[in-house]
Amino acid sequence: MARALLTRLHERASPVPVAPVQLSAPAYRQKQTSFHRSPAWSELMKKIEAIIKPFKLEEVRDGLTGLGVQGMTISEVKGFGRQKGHQEIYRGAEYQVDFIPKIKIELIVEADRTQDVLDLIQEKARTGKIGDGKIFVLPVEACQRIRTGESGPDAL
Ligand SMILES: Nc1ncnc2c1ncn2[C@@H]1O[C@H](COP(=O)(O)OP(=O)(O)OP(=O)(O)O)[C@@H](O)[C@H]1O
Ligand SMILES: [Mg+2]
Look at residue 110 and tell me if it is in a domain.
yes
Distance CA 25, CA 33 (A): 10
Look at residue 57 and tell me if it is in a domain.
yes
Please count the other Cβ atoms lying within 10 Å of the Cβ belonging to residue 41.
19
Distance CA 105, CA 65 (A): 13
139 alpha carbon to ligand 1 midpoint, in Å? 21
Q: How many domains does the chain have?
A: 1
Nearest to 68 by CA among 139, 135, 112, 117: 117
Q: What is the pLDDT of residues 50-103, one digit of tens each?
A: 999 999 999 999 999 999 999 999 999 999 998 777 767 777 766 555 889 999
134 lines ligand 1 (CB under 6 A): yes
DSSP annotation of 16 = P
Q: What is the pLDDT of residues 90-142, one digit of tens each?
A: 777 665 558 899 999 999 999 999 999 999 999 999 999 999 999 999 999 99
CATH label of the domain that carries residue 113? 3.30.70.120
Residue type at position 51: I
By most ligand atoms within 8 Å of CB, the mutation choice from 56, 77, 82 for ligand 1 is 82
Nearest to 120 by CA among 130, 135, 110: 135
Q: Which domain holds residue 51?
A: 38-155
User: Which residue's alpha carbon is nearest to atom 28 within ligand 1?
Assistant: 80
Look at residue 56 and tell me if it is in a domain.
yes
pTM of the model: 0.77
